């Protein structure tokens, strides 16, 4: 409401100033110069009054800006009879504030799009029928119907066979994503295909999209260090402007030259270019699925020299995947996987769920197990299609079938071996591991090209596991076996060499994220604690989004600096020309208006930053000798 009222007031002042200028010109050319002066003054007074009120508010809050130069130029022009110049300055200043508000509004468009997409209600299955309920009534476990075109209201898992969702508003992905049964669906995405059912896993207030909305609101209220630095620079520019104006008057005895100098200096691109460029950068980053919590983190992100990566869930996928199936009793690999997955449907263990996901990705129809008994940390025993199945650790399954555990020393460090027995016979093993994310190597190469000098891995895992996973990545350092406190110490140590970015996804990463100059959380599956502690949240579970985010941050900051340097340089040249009498006050006002418009348009270039999109290879199938088994991650 307050913003709308302020925008209406700015519009009214601009229209009044424009009307005063145009009517005054018409009266002047009709032969009534005195009436024209009165009309010009009438158009200037409201703009000057609003400007004085704004200056007093700023001074009360301890801020001194270049609005003072605008007030001085209008006042001086009126005092010395340059009413036309004063009218042009009034139009220029009110037009500049209006154009700045318009530019920032355009720059925030993607963020506003995020906010406007928040659904108010959801359709819930209840007692064999459907009911429309407010979002705050949805509880984990509720079955929801997502119609075609609906926005997914809460985080959940797909309960239908397949679904196509459009995540473009959140991630910038232009094509719909295909999800299979059991896959995670992120709130805020849109159903681009047939209606599907969703099992809610979070309440609305705890879902991804609600967190995004909160972060957007925080980002919109932020102010960048560069903006604060611009405020400090404005004091120096104000002193230079007044000094040149006073010198021009003192040495020539002509006060009109001083008026011309003040007019050329009003307003300065410092107060226009920086916020527009940085907010445009925030908007552009959000379009690519990188939510930056304000202009301050964006500016710091542009200066990062050291990157520290967590391993599990960040550099790696964080979910075990099948890399090989070994058959020992002549049973087909597909049957080993199908029977193991059917039994593991009764377990919530991450390894069990990964086996189920791999079978569903393969397209297997899984029968319901019976008489299931789970031994925590060991394995699961039960019946599938009348056959007794045992799935678990090698020692556990071997002891149940009367065999000695085999020698599996050749298995790579960090791999998980899952044994499968059918009707008392060991039929095979599933070899599982937590592989690198697709495109991790290309992402790191791209970051080095963007100026990241050091890339380190910080993990609580064993050194041999970390070395195997990161082999060939060319990291500058690897720190294994770290506790959360030791990760913080590593961040603080690296900060001595320049700004540090830390990327993580778990609760144990939250302290290090908070200690870094810029903390980045994997927001799609990451813990809420890490997302709250971070300055940047990746809205999709893809580490390769980090590269475009840094590229956009650097581009937005570069454009802001270019705009400031060019704008101030042109303004100073104009002031010197005015001081030597080459520009009249009216000409100076018109020149400065051209400079201001050019500066804002240049700052808006940040909306068109096109970051390099890394090419992510498709997941490769893996084989143990007969048929290939697709890796078990859902799309």
pLDDT confidence of residue 289: 80
- Residues 536, 524 within the same domain: yes
Q: What does pTM read for this prediction?
A: 0.66
- Residues 482, 428 within the same domain: no
CB-count burial class (<10 Å; 0-12, 13-18, 19+) for 443: buried
Average pLDDT over residues 618-626: 34
- Residues 510, 458 within the same domain: yes
Q: Which domain holds residue 399?
A: 321-433
Say which residue, 329 or 494, is predicted with more confidence: 494
CATH classification at residue 405 = 3.40.1110.10
The alpha-carbon radius of gyration of the chain (Å, integer) is 32
532/232 Cα distance (integer angstroms): 31
158/145 Cα distance (integer angstroms): 10
Q: How many H-runs (helices) and E-runs (strands) does the chain carry?
A: 21, 24
Q: What is the pLDDT of residues 499-554, one digit of tens each?
A: 999 988 765 677 888 888 998 887 655 445 456 667 888 877 778 888 889 999 99
- Residues 381, 517 within the same domain: no
- Residues 343, 425 within the same domain: yes
Q: Considering its fold, how many domains does the chain have in total?
A: 3
Say which residue, 331 or 460, is predicted with more confidence: 331
Say which residue, 456 or 623, is predicted with more confidence: 456
Q: Contact at 8 Å (CB) between 589 and 263? A: yes
CATH classification at residue 159 = 2.70.150.10
| 127 part of a folded domain | no
- Residues 152, 184 within the same domain: yes
Boundary-marking domain end, from 409, 433, 457 = 433
Residue 179 confidence (pLDDT) above 80: yes
Q: What is the pLDDT of residues 74-121, one digit of tens each?
A: 888 898 888 888 888 888 778 767 766 665 555 455 555 555 566 778
pLDDT confidence of residue 105: 58
Structure tokens at 76: 């001086």
DSSP string for 146-211: E-TTPBP-S-EEE-SSEEEEE-HHHH---SPEEEETT-EE-TT-EE-SS-EEEEE-S-GGGSHHHH
| 447 part of a folded domain | yes
Mapped onto helix, strand or coil, the DSSP state of residue 448 is helix
Cα-Cα-Cα-Cα dihedral sign, residues 422, 428, 433, 436? negative
Average pLDDT over residues 413-436: 82
pLDDT confidence of residue 422: 92
Give the residue among 493, 484, 442 at the shortest CA–CA distance from 306.
Answer: 493
- Residues 443, 298 within the same domain: yes
Q: What is the DSSP letter of 304?
A: -
How far are the Cα atoms of 23, 70, 393, 471, 588 from residue 66, in angstroms, in the given order?
29, 7, 71, 55, 17
Q: Contact at 8 Å (CB) between 416 and 320? A: yes
Give the residue among 339, 317, 455 at the shortest CA–CA distance from 391.
Answer: 339
209/214 Cα distance (integer angstroms): 9
CATH classification at residue 527 = 3.40.50.1000
Average pLDDT taken over every residue of the chain: 79
Residue 167 confidence (pLDDT) above 90: no
- Residues 415, 545 within the same domain: no
| 214 part of a folded domain | no
Selected catalytic residue, list 142, 150, 231, 310? 310
Average pLDDT over residues 326-336: 86
Q: Is the previous residue joined to 267 through a cis bond, with omega within 30 degrees of 0?
A: yes
| 147 part of a folded domain | yes
- Residues 426, 372 within the same domain: yes
- Residues 390, 479 within the same domain: no
Question: Look-up: residue for tokens 């000057």?
Answer: 48
Which residues are CB-contacts of 70 (< 8 A; sequence separation ≥ 6)? 51, 89, 93, 266, 267
| 405 part of a folded domain | yes
Question: Look-up: residue for tokens 């145009």?
Answer: 22
Residue 288 confidence (pLDDT) above 50: yes
310 is catalytic: yes
Residue 630 confidence (pLDDT) above 50: no
pLDDT confidence of residue 552: 93
Boundary-marking domain end, from 479, 514, 549 = 549
pLDDT confidence of residue 624: 32
Boundary-marking domain end, from 522, 549, 576 = 549
């Amino acid at each position: 409401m307050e913003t709308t009222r302020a925008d209406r007031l700015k519009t009214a002042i601009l229209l009044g100033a424009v009307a005063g200028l145009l009517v005054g010109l018409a009266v002047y050319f009709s032969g009534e110069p005195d009436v024209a002066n009165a009309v010009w003054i009438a158009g200037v007074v409201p703009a000057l009054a609003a400007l004085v009120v704004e200056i007093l508010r700023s001074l009360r809050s301890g801020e001194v800006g270049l609005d003072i130069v605008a007030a001085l130029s209008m006042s001086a022009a009126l005092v010395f009879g340059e009413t036309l110049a004063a009218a042009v300055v009034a139009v220029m200043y009110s037009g500049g504030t209006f154009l700045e508000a318009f530019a920032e509004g355009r720059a925030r468009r993607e963020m506003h799009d995020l906010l406007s997409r928040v659904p108010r209600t959801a359709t819930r299955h209840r007692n064999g029928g459907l009911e429309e309920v407010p979002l705050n009534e949805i509880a984990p476990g509720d079955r929801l119907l997502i119609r075609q075109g609906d926005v997914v209201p809460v985080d959940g898992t797909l309960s239908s066979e397949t679904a196509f969702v459009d995540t473009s508003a959140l991630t910038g992905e232009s094509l719909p994503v295909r999800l299979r049964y059991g896959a995670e669906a992120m709130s805020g995405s849109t159903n681009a295909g047939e209606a599907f059912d969703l099992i809610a896993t979070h309440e609305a207030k705890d879902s991804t999209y609600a967190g995004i909305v909160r972060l957007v609101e925080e980002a919109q209220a932020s102010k960048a260090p560069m903006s604060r630095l611009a405020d400090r620079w404005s004091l120096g520019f104000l002193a230079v402007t007044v000094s040149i104006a006073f010198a021009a008057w003192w040495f020539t005895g002509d006060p009109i030259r001083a008026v011309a100098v003040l007019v050329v200096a009003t307003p300065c691109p410092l107060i226009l270019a920086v916020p527009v460029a940085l907010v445009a950068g925030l908007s552009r980053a959000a379009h690519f699925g990188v939510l930056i919590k304000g202009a301050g983190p964006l500016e710091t992100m542009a200066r990062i020299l050291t990157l520290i990566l967590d391993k599990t869930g960040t550099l790696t996928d964080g979910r075990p995947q099948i890399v090989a199936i070994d058959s020992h009793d002549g049973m087909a690999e597909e049957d080993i996987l199908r029977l193991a997955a059917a039994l593991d449907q009764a377990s919530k263990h991450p390894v069990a769920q990964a086996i189920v996901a791999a079978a569903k990705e393969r397209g297997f129809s899984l029968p319901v197990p019976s008489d299931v008994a789970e031994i925590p940390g060991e394995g699961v025993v039960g019946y599938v299609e009348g056959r007794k199945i045992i799935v678990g650790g090698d020692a556990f399954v071997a002891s149940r079938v009367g065999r000695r555990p085999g020698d599996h020393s050749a298995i790579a460090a960090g791999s998980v071996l899952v044994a499968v027995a059918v009707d008392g016979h060991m039929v095979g093993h599933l070899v599982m591991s937590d592989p690198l994310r697709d495109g991790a190597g290309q992402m790191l190469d791209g970051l080095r090209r963007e100026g990241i000098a050091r890339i380190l891995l910080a993990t609580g895992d064993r050194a041999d596991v970390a070395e195997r996973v990161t082999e060939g990545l060319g990291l500058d350092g690897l720190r294994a076996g770290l506790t959360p406190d030791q990760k913080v110490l590593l961040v603080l140590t690296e900060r001595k060499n320049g700004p540090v970015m830390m990327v993580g996804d778990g609760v144990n990463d939250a302290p290090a994220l908070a200690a870094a100059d810029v903390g980045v959380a994997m927001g799609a599956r990451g813990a809420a604690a890490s997302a709250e502690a971070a300055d940047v949240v990746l809205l999709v579970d893809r580490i390769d989004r980090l590269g475009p985010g840094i590229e956009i941050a650097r581009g937005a900051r570069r454009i802001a600096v270019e705009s400031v340097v060019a704008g101030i340089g042109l303004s100073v040249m104009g002031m010197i020309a005015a001081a030597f009498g080459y520009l009249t006050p009216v000409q100076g006002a018109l020149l400065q208006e051209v400079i201001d418009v050019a500066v804002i348009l240049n700052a808006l270039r940040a909306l068109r930053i096109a970051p390099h999109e890394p090419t992510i290879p498709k997941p490769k199938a893996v084989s143990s000798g007969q048929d290939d088994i697709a890796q078990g991650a859902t799309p």
